[in-house]
């Protein structure tokens, strides 16, 4: 059939289009969470330039060199489109290429410039289309999650009694963080951010996501010695989702601070 | 008078070097001839127009200047094969060029005109590195444009213009070019095809040798394409140092 077309084309004088490889798509993974399938991406926040990198794996990804004879050499990348709660075609500049089996996407976020994009949360199908028009799709390849938000906190003493927001460095205490969109079952982490000085990150073993609304952070005695003052110093609490989103976003105001004092009687 | 013309014609034909004959006849008007081989023996009563032409050089090939006008008024079909170096005027590199042609020489204008139908093939290539920032590991490509041309040319042939046996010629005409552009990059190959009209200019010269004639030729092809992989470009160029051999079919 192809030969017949070529023969007819030859006789009539026409263009036969372009023929190239057909892609296949087997998986998508967020580089921040390579083991999660489908890929989980929080794109309401992110790197201001690169966004979040999501690797598409498969075969037959085929960028097309352009204008190789006319002199204005260029490159057409495979196009990538998302379909779910909304449809979105990634800008060409955000489709990268490693080899015919790996196609990284620099997923834009609400923070990236100049093509900021905050997708609605939900499950998305991913479609890759080579420049020759051949395409492959992967259903529910990507899950967009909303960023966490912190609305308040309370410090519990060793007996489980609330003590307001005072955190005594000489005692083991628990900080209960309230908010939304916390990721249960994930490696969520937390850190204490002073007004000046170094941030202290709590180990994953000290953080327990009780629900999408509550996180418990265990603070052993002496952990915040560098921040503590006799009169107490206000220190912010930051929640870090493993997919890259944090609450509050660096530079943003925080609704949750603890007053860290050196010693409590 | 008829016999004299016959003698003269036979003598001229016999004197043509391409004819495999060692003993030439010494026939002159109004004089006795030295005996010729039986096949070449003059037949005084035969009309020269009906006389069968001996196997020898094609009439459209370079001929002796004193060849009879009668012979020049016969049509001829010539076949030639040629090869050469094709040098595109674009970024494409030089490539081998091969072709074959059929030429019809009508029995008019002393066989100075010919209609030539040519089929040729050439596959110039280029390549390079791609520095696009979206390519994590960089990359390179190889591109080739395979061209099959069907060319129709009108040729003017100046037989024996300076030297006996030497026939310069020149011509031009349209061409139908079948392009197959193939780009290999990143482990994949993409192919685009199209048929486009173009034109060509040609000039060369025959020189009688053996049963036909060798020829050298230069040629310019204008063949524009507008593929995504090539861009809008003239992928034609010059066929320099083209050499070939031309035979008379009848």
Q: For residue range B210-224, what is the model confidence (pLDDT) as tens digits?
A: 999 999 999 999 999
Q: What is the DSSP string of A230-259?
A: SS-EEEEEEEE-TTS-EESPTTS--S-EEE
Could you give the 3-state DSSP secondary structure of residue B111? Answer: helix
Contact B194 A9 (CB under 8 A): yes
- Return the domain boundaries, chain A: 13-144, 149-261
Contact A18 B191 (CB under 8 A): yes
Residues A28, A55 contacting (CB under 8 angstroms) = yes
Helix (H) / strand (E) element for B137: namely none
- Asked, colleague to colleague, whether A13-144 and A149-261 share their fold, the answer is yes
B39 has pLDDT over 50: no
Residue tagged 């990150």 (tokens): A201
B interface test, pick of A7, A65, A72 with most B CB neighbours within 10 Å:
A65
Among B90, B26, B75, which residue's Cα sits nearest to residue B233?
B90
Chain A: residue whose CA lies nearest to B178: A10
- Return the domain boundaries, chain B: 1-56, 76-248
Q: State the CATH architecture for A149-261.
A: Sandwich (2.60)
Q: What is the DSSP string of A95-109?
A: B-BSBTTEEEEEE--
Task: Enumerate the residues of chain A whose CB falls inside 8 A of the CB of residue B121.
Answer: none
Show which residues on chain B lie within 8 Å of chain A, measured between beta carbons: 90-92, 126, 128, 130, 132, 134-137, 139, 141, 143, 145, 148, 176, 178, 183, 185-197, 225, 227-233, 235
Tokens read off for A12: 């009539």
Contact A97 B235 (CB under 8 A): no
- List of residues 6+ apart from A232 with CB closer than 8 A: A166, A259, A260, A261
| pLDDT-based confidence at residue A46 (cuts at 50, 70, 90) | confident
Residues A172, A221 contacting (CB under 8 angstroms) = yes
In whole numbers, what is the pLDDT of chain B averaged over residues?
A: 78
Give the nearest partner residue to B193 out of A6, A60, A96, using CB atoms.
A6
What distance in Å separates the CA atoms of residue A248 and residue A232, rounded to the nearest whole number? 22
Task: Enumerate the residues of chain B whose CB falls inside 8 A of the CB of residue A95.
Answer: 134
What distance in Å separates the CA atoms of residue A174 and residue B65, rounded to the nearest whole number? 116
B33 has pLDDT over 50: no
| pLDDT-based confidence at residue A10 (cuts at 50, 70, 90) | low
- CATH number for the region A13-144 comes to 2.60.40
Largest CA distance in chain A: 97
At B169 the pLDDT is 95
> pTM for this structure?
0.75
Among B48, B55, B80, which residue's Cα sits nearest to residue B167?
B80
What distance in Å separates the CA atoms of residue A149 and residue A130, rounded to the nearest whole number? 39
Show which residues on chain A lie within 8 Å of chain B, measured between beta carbons: 6, 9-21, 60-77, 92-93, 95-100, 104, 131-132
Give the nearest partner residue to A69 out of B134, B148, B235, using CB atoms.
B235
Least confident window among A83-92, A189-198, B81-90: A189-198
| pLDDT-based confidence at residue A14 (cuts at 50, 70, 90) | low
Among A9, A145, A72, A79, which residue's Cα sits nearest to residue B134?
A79
Tokens read off for B77: 């079909």
Residue A251: CB atoms within 10 Å: 5
Task: Enumerate the residues of chain B whose CB falls inside 8 A of the CB of residue A93.
Answer: 134
- CATH number for the region B76-248 comes to 2.40.160.20
Contact B229 A64 (CB under 8 A): yes
- ipTM for the complex? 0.79
Within 13 Å of residue A181, how many CA atoms lie on the same side as its CB? 20
What distance in Å separates the CA atoms of residue B45 and residue B175, rounded to the nearest whole number? 49
Residues B74, B56 contacting (CB under 8 angstroms) = no
| pLDDT-based confidence at residue A1 (cuts at 50, 70, 90) | low
Name the residue with higher pLDDT: B116 or A240. Answer: B116
In whole numbers, what is the pLDDT of chain A averaged over residues?
A: 88
Query: For residue range B61-120, what is the model confidence (pLDDT) as tens digits?
Result: 544 444 445 555 688 999 999 999 999 999 999 999 999 999 999 998 888 999 999 999
B183 has pLDDT over 90: yes
What distance in Å separates the CA atoms of residue A124 and residue A30, rounded to the nearest whole number? 14
Residue A264: CB atoms within 10 Å: 14
Percentage of the residues of chain B whose pLDDT score is greater than 70: 71
Least confident window among A25-34, A240-249, B12-21, B98-107: B12-21
């Amino acid at each position: 059939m192809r030969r017949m077309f070529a023969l007819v084309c030859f006789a009539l004088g026409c263009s036969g289009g372009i023929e190239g490889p057909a892609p296949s798509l087997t998986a998508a993974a967020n580089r921040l969470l390579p083991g999660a399938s489908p890929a989980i991406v929080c794109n309401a926040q992110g790197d201001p330039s690169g966004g979040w990198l999501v690797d598409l794996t498969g075969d037959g990804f085929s960028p097309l060199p352009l204008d190789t004879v006319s002199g204005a050499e260029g490159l057409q990348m495979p196009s990538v489109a998302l379909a779910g709660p909304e449809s979105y075609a990634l800008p060409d500049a955000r489709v990268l290429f490693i080899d015919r089996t790996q196609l990284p996407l620099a997923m834009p976020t609400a923070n990236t410039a100049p093509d900021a994009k905050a997708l609605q949360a939900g499950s998305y199908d991913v479609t890759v289309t080579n420049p020759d028009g051949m395409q492959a799709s992967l259903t529910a390849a990507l899950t967009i999650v909303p960023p966490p938000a912190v609305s308040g906190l309370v410090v519990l003493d060793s007996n489980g009694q609330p003590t307001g927001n005072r955190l005594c460095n000489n005692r083991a205490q628990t900080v209960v963080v309230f908010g939304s969109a916390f990721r249960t079952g994930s490696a969520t982490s937390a850190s204490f951010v002073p007004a000046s000085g170094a941030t202290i990150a709590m180990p994953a073993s000290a953080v327990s996501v009780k629900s999408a609304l509550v996180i418990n952070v265990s603070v052993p005695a002496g952990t915040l010695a560098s921040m503590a003052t006799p009169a107490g110093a206000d220190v912010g609490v930051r929640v870090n989702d493993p997919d890259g989103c944090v609450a509050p976003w660096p530079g943003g105001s925080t609704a949750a601070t603890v007053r860290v004092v050196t010693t409590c009687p | 008078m008829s016999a004299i013309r016959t003698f003269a014609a036979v003598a001229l034909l016999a004197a043509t070097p391409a004819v495999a004959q060692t003993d030439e006849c010494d026939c002159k008007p109004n004089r006795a001839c030295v005996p010729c081989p039986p096949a070449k023996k003059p037949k005084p009563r035969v009309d020269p127009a009906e006389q069968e032409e001996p196997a020898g050089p094609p009439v459209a090939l370079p001929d002796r200047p004193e060849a009879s006008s009668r012979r020049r008024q016969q049509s001829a079909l010539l076949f030639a094969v040629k090869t050469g170096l094709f040098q595109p005027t674009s970024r494409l590199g030089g490539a081998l060029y091969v072709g074959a042609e059929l030429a019809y020489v009508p029995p008019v204008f002393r066989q100075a005109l010919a209609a030539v139908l040519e089929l040729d093939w050439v596959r110039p290539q280029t390549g390079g590195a791609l520095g696009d920032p979206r390519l994590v590991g960089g990359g390179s490509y190889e591109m080739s444009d395979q061209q099959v041309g069907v060319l129709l040319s009108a040729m003017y042939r100046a037989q024996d213009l300076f030297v006996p046996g030497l026939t310069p010629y020149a011509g031009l005409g349209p061409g139908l070019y079948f392009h197959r552009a193939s780009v290999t990059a990143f482990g994949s190959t993409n192919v685009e095809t199209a048929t486009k009209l173009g034109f060509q200019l040609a000039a060369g010269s025959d020189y009688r040798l053996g049963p036909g004639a060798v020829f050298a030729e230069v040629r310019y092809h204008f063949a524009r394409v507008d593929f995504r992989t090539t861009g809008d470009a003239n992928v034609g160029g010059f066929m320099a140092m083209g050499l070939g051999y031309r035979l008379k079919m009848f």
